[in-house]
Every structure is written in structure tokens, then in C-alpha cells.
């Protein structure tokens, strides 16, 4: 990543924060030599880490954005025993937002996330964050809905299997998460967070996504018609940048430019 940063004339710095529940989280801040005054927090997917977001960071750095690249809790070099799919991570993102705002004083803070990172980013909108705009690719609509899909996928069937025949398995899983870890996974709902938010949201989803079906972004969009949905023909999970690289770059940068504001962002009080 240091080589990538150097190749576009940027400087990489190690960062860390400690969350309210005592978890040490790590990240990189990458600052371009010629900044446009704005910053982007980029969030990776399940089982990945910040290095997996290198290509997106390189694109943003080339256009003058400062990029904050965290490792999610229980991923990469960050601490934490469990990934909670946004239940706790939304507060982590809130803390990273405040950190970036305090250290760099950007005109705008934008967000970009893929898969689990996309879902976490959307849920963070419910914590009072004043992102100028966010772009998410391949998010799930809610933990319950993606659980229904997971039940059906081994049988090459749709979510109806999880909603009907295997629904008891889903419910037992949710109860176990509460009993063992005191985690109410029924509250993990990006679509609910988007309904209550005024932050401009661009949804990107491959039409042939075999991991998180495109219906999830359609569900989110249906709950808030002010969001914009780009369905990418022929793209699989988080595959827009490889399937349609030119259009991906144009839509991403265009969305940020459209919603740029000449003011410092703030983390609102809750």
C-alpha cells in the first residue's frame, strides 16, 4: 500500500482508535500531495481487510481525495472477537468520522463501502453522521433477509426456503446470538437506517450477484426513493469496477461532486 501511495504522490500514515467497549481499531490515512480538500472513508467486506480496498483508494487519491482505510473490528490488524455486521461497527464508523474530521478538517467527508462494509456504512447513517454523500456496492438489506438467502443458497433456491422451511433455523440462530453474545441481530438493518437518513445514497449492485442478490439493493431503494440505484448488467458481487470501470469511476466521482459542500463536516450529537 505504501508503494501504491507513493506511485500517486501520496503519503501513508498509521492510525488507531480505541472504541467505547475497549477494542483497538487500526487504519491508514493516505493523503495526496495535491488535496482537493475532501476525504473518503472506505470500508471493506467480510473476511477482507483494508488492503482489499487498495484499488478504490488509488482511484480516489488520483483525484485528490484523502482516504481513510480502516480494518473493521475482528478483521485485519484491528482487535475484537466478533464481526457484528453493523450492530457495533456503526459506532466504530462514527468514531472514525470524528477522528478524520478532527485531524484533517475536510470540507466534506464521503463514504464508500462494499458488501459487509456497505451495510455497515449505511447503518452508520443512523448515528447522526453528516456525510456529504455515500456510495455503497452490494449491501444487504437486513441481517434477517440475508439469512434467508443463505438458507436457500446451498439448494440453489431463493430466500423462500429461509422464510418457510428453514425459518426455525434462522430464528434459533438469532436467539443464540442474543443468548451467548447479547447481540440483537434483528436490529441489523441498513434499509431501516436509510429510511431515516437525509444523506444522499448511491446504491450499486451487480445484476448477477451470486453472493448478495440484487433484490437487497432494490429493497433499500424501495424504502427510500431519494436513493439512486445503478444495477450493473453482467456484474457479480462487488464487480462493477471490473465489469464497467469507466462508468464506475464516472458515477462514483460524479456522485461525490454533485453533493460536495464547501463546509467542514460534523458528527451530530445524539
| Residue ranges covered by each domain of the chain | 2-141+194-258, 143-187
According to the model, what pLDDT value does residue 270 have? 41
- The residues, ordered by sequence, that sit 6+ positions from 182 with a Cβ below 8 Å of its Cβ are none
3-state DSSP assignment of residue 12: strand
CB 77 within 8 A of CB 233: no
How far apart are alpha carbons 80 and 101 in whole angstroms?
24
**Which parts of the chain register pLDDT below 70?**
261-270
Phi-psi region of 4 (alpha: psi -120 to 50; beta: other; left: phi over 0): alpha
pTM of the model: 0.94
CATH code for the part of the protein at 2-141+194-258:
3.40.50.1820
Distances in whole angstroms, Cα of residue 96 to Cα of each of 76, 108, 174, 179, 218: 16, 14, 28, 30, 29
What are the φ/ψ torsions at residue 101 (nearest 5 degrees)? Answer: -60, -45
Q: Which three cell numbers stand for residue 48?
A: 477482507
Nearest Cα residue to 270 out of 139, 95, 70, 146: 95
Distance CA 188, CA 119 (A): 9
- Helix 167-181 vs helix 143-152: crossing angle, to nearest 10: 130
Closest by Cα among 137, 261, 247 to 199: 261
pLDDT digits (tens, 9 = 90+) for 143-152: 999 999 999 9
DSSP state of 111: E
The DSSP letter of residue 53 is G
Instruction: Tell me what pLDDT residue 264 has.
Output: 45
**The predicted structure's pLDDT at residue 162:** 93
Contacting residues for 208 by C-beta, under 8 A, at least 6 apart: 234, 235, 236
The grid coordinates listed for 103 are 485531524
- Give per-residue pLDDT as tens, 208-226: 999 999 999 999 999 999 9
- Kindly report the backbone phi and psi dihedral angles of residue 63, in degrees, each rounded to the nearest multiple of 5, phi listed first: -105, 15
Whole-number pLDDT of residue 196: 87
Amino acid at each position: 500500500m505504501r508503494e501504491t501511495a507513493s506511485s500517486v504522490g501520496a503519503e501513508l500514515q498509521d492510525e488507531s482508535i480505541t472504541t467505547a467497549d475497549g477494542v483497538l481499531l487500526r487504519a491508514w490515512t493516505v493523503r495526496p500531495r495535491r488535496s482537493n480538500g475532501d476525504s473518503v472513508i472506505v470500508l471493506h467486506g467480510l473476511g477482507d481487510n483494508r488492503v482489499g480496498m487498495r484499488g478504490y483508494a488509488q482511484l480516489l487519491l488520483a483525484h485528490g481525495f484523502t482516504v481513510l482505510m480502516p480494518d473493521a473490528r475482528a478483521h485485519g490488524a484491528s482487535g475484537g472477537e466478533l464481526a457484528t455486521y453493523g450492530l457495533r461497527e456503526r459506532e466504530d464508523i462514527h468514531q472514525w468520522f470524528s477522528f478524520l474530521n478532527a485531524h484533517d478538517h475536510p470540507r466534506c467527508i464521503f463514504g464508500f463501502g462494499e458488501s459487509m462494509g456497505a451495510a455497515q456504512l449505511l447503518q452508520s447513517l443512523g448515528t447522526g453522521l453528516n456525510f456529504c454523500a455515500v456510495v455503497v456496492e452490494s449491501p444487504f438489506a437486513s441481517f434477517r433477509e440475508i439469512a434467508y438467502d443463505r438458507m436457500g443458497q446451498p439448494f440453489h433456491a431463493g430466500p423462500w426456503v429461509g422464510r418457510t422451511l428453514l425459518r426455525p433455523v434462522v430464528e434459533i440462530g438469532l436467539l443464540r446470538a442474543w443468548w451467548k453474545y447479547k447481540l440483537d441481530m434483528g436490529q441489523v438493518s441498513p434499509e431501516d437506517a436509510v429510511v431515516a437518513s437525509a444523506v444522499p445514497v448511491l446504491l450499486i449492485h451487480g445484476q448477477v450477484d451470486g453472493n448478495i442478490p440484487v433484490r437487497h439493493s432494490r429493497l433499500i431503494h424501495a424504502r427510500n426513493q431519494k436513493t439512486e440505484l445503478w444495477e450493473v448488467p453482467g456484474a457479480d458481487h462487488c464487480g462493477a469496477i471490473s465489469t464497467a470501470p469507466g462508468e464506475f469511476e464516472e458515477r462514483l466521482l460524479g456522485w461525490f461532486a454533485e453533493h460536495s459542500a464547501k463546509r467542514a463536516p460534523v458528527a451530530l450529537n445524539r
